[in-house]
Structure 1
């Protein structure tokens, strides 16, 4: 099965055929072959958070530039996409009394001569009243629908006792609503709870700047001295914990990877130097620490285990770098407990499966490490990656906040996540030619899945259990193991340090069993 490409950001979108009517009534069909040429940017763990070319520069063709061209096309012909033919459109728009014989809309002729009035007078009156009444009814219906949907989506202006907001935070949201009304200069302006909640959550979202030194070697010359650290990329982060002295920030591991210095830009524009506390490559999470200073807001954690598909999801971060810091995009939770394969060491093979939330809220390079919040402003995930191909749109992923909470606690305490350790290097069985498996390893013909041990470290649980290079592991605790990914997931999710692990393996064609005590 063809694997999905990870982090591919399309700069333009395919457009469907559109029917455009000119002033003389002629039609023109614009098809996909007449759209601008599609281009894509591959965004890997190395450049997922890179900055982009200034859109004001000549020849710049960025994502938002392409979107602007698409909007212009939509404004030109979008209102006519689903319109009927020109004659039909005009017929349906015109009053009935304007067609046929004047004054004959009632079917009774011009006048009966008895002072009752002719058909023409009644027809004209009807032609005026009917559109007026229809418009009045339509306006009332739209007002009713607007009120219904506004109450459902934005929670009205009063809030809901069961919306997940604490009384303390509810009062803070009410205060923010009052401040927004003052800023707008309109005391009667209605500020929804969700708008105020977003404003509150934004105060806890920061930009993370990855600074690296750029050395240079010129042929025939000695290496040029390293320069001062320069910006190598940008991402986002979330302030999740405050102490008297420090503020703790969670972000993605790939945002801070390779950094020699880290800078954090707060929502108010303040720039702080950050200290890296710990990272975890498997969950793509990292924890930073800055001096608290005047920082007053840490985000509240929600509960990702209680999420439902269709709930509001709001992404906050710095897409495309500092120019768009504090950007907000709104969508829904599209899926729960998604497993997305990840190639961590970029060798072309999947090393891990990330357990993530799926959302259609816009997530772009620079959003990595930012917040995914619910309509109450509570953190429900850390934005991490997206799938973007010419045929894919609106599939982004975030690490569930319940997993984030467990990981950051370990990173704070240990600088790393402590997982069960076996002490072996592995290779998937399916990557080895069948002739080698049969002739050199003497594997039975019916053994076509498992994991080959390519190296055993001395003094490790695997060495003490008697495992050797070229042993082929086929099961753990009686559970079949088909590849390295399954072996790692079983160790990390099902076992703990100090527990025993029963390993079934083939050596020289013979099935054997041993037990290892995990460290």
Structure 2
């Protein structure tokens, strides 16, 4: 018995020493390459369904991975500096230009001649862009166009031969629970493939933003995956991986992608028109889960309650009224406002959509021709619209947007309504999309300076802290 006890003690000590040695010599420190500042609160970090197919735990991902891994690239955002960078450089006689890596991300080749989709935050502020393919070939890339609001950018390389690319899938046809793969370059680890399912659709990460509509997935996405591909089991592009919500800055169980239909529409707008053609329905509304008293009154929790119809909009002309409840659009079920805006963001001005509304207990289908976005609400409590050429000429300015309504008591309506906002934080504002992008690009805690011309023609400056 004593001999058995001695053997047991020796075994336990041996196991402890083995584990201790492993921890001491083999376990590496967890290294984060994330450049964004972290805090203790959750923060947003700039990071088709075949009914005949059986989806289960025995699904084979190899075909989809093989189809897509060669069409996802590593994107390096490089800043170029000229002249000496420091006193040490001066002392050493270094005067030539130097480069610094601002950040890295991923991109998706969408055409064989080298058009690549990525996130705007991946390439923002770059002097040079370097794109590395899966075969280690490196190209210089140029920016074709960007949309900061949707966080989508289109860049181009000039390859010697046709490149492998990923075809667009239809993100409207994706289903919650469907298998997906995320392909990208997390933590500079090239050509990484992770698997998961679609956890949710039409996810809005910011309650104050009305245009967000992300695909949520539990496929592991980390810093460096931004701009990479979210693909279905057929190897079709259904999303551009964009963001994670995390206390640590790394994957915690869910991540978010811009739906492929939205990304495709932005890319086509950039290539065909040179800017974003945004159509609007022309209503203001709310989800029923935010207004439980309305749910009780209407006897439903599904749909978008129309609180206001914009004057002159397609919705007004077609006959949509305040107190209507939008239940479907083009026969797609609308459960919440992000379902509606996510679909509208795939359309252009003058497109016609069929809107099913509930009115007085009866459902009615109304055809609405979308109009061009011409008015938006800024987070500082102002509604602005694009200024006409005559208005800009009257105020003797080449650029600006007009304040059309005050949404806060802190502004005197007679002073601000009709004024022209010309700059936000030193950046010139030419239209309402510029104004939206200026606010979207603000960092947490950053102050804001707004320059405007009041109705007397005087230039004023307001500082928000």
- Using structure 1 for the length normalisation, give the TM-score: 0.45
User: What SS does structure 2 have at the residue aligned with 1:213?
Assistant: strand
Distance 1:211 1:386 in 2: 23
Offset at residue 414 of structure 1 (A): 3.6
Map 1:167-246 → 2, pairs under 5 A: 192=60, 194-214=61-81, 216=85, 218=87, 225=95, 227-242=97-112, 246=113
Question: Does 268-277 or 362-371 show the bigger shift?
Answer: 268-277
The 8 Å contact of residues 32 and 187 in structure 2, kept in 1 or not, is answered as: no
Q: Is contact 1:300-1:378 (8 Å) kept?
A: yes
Residue matched to 2:406: 472
* 1:269 correspondence with 2:106: no
SS of match in other structure, 1:313: strand
- For residues 379 and 238 of structure 2, the distance between their equivalents in structure 1, rounded to whole angstroms, comes to 36
Q: What's the secondary structure of 2:212's corresponding residue?
A: strand
Separation in 2, partners of 1:296, 1:456: 41
Q: For 2:245, which of 361, 375, 387 is the aligned residue?
A: 387
Cα 1:379–1:427 shift into 2, 3 Å: closer
CA RMSD in angstroms comes to: 4.6
Cα drift, residue 155 of structure 1: 7.0
Selected match of 1:248 from 115, 127, 132: 115
Structure 2 unaligned blocks of 5 or more: 1-8, 13-27, 39-43, 48-52, 279-371, 395-400, 409-431, 437-465
- Name the structure with the higher helix share: 1
Mapped partners of 1:311, 1:472: distance in 2:
45
1:341 to partner: Cα distance:
2.1
Matched, 1:326 2:191: yes
2:457 is aligned to none
CA distance in 2, matches of 1:241, 1:401: 15
Structure 1 pair 379/421, CA: closer, same or farther in 2 (3 Å)?
Answer: closer
Per-residue deviation, 1:362: 0.6
- Give the 3-state SS of the residue equivalent to 2:116 in structure 1: strand
1:357 is matched with which residue: 194, 215, 220?
215
Partner of 2:18: none
Q: For residue 313 of structure 1, what is the aligned residue in structure 2? A: 180
Residue 410 of structure 1 aligns to a residue in which SS? helix
Counterpart of 2:268 (choices 390, 409, 430) is: 409
State the shift of 1:228 in Å.
Answer: 3.4
Query: Is the alpha carbon distance of 1:40 and 1:296 closer, same or farther for their aligned partners in structure 2, counting shifts above 3 Å?
Result: closer
Offset of residue 48 of structure 1 = 6.1
Larger Rg: 1
Distance in 1 between residues matched to 2:69 and 2:221, nearest whole Å: 16
Partner of 1:399: 258
SS in 2 for 1:413: helix
Indicate the residue corresponding to 1:513 in structure 2.
none
Q: Cα deviations across residues 437-469 of structure 1 (Å, max 9, x unaligned)?
A: xxxxxxxxxxxxxx366x9967377999xx976
Task: Measure the CA separation in 1 of the matches of 2:97 and 2:210.
Answer: 36
Q: Deviations over 1:239-273 (max 9, x none)?
A: 1123xxx3110000010011111111111111111
Distance in 1, matches of 2:386 and 2:163, equals 50
Q: CA–CA distance in 2 between the matches of 1:375 and 1:260?
A: 37
Q: State the SS of the aligned residue for 2:160.
A: coil
Once the 2 structures are TM-superposed, how far is the Cα of residue 218 of structure 1 from its aligned partner?
4.6
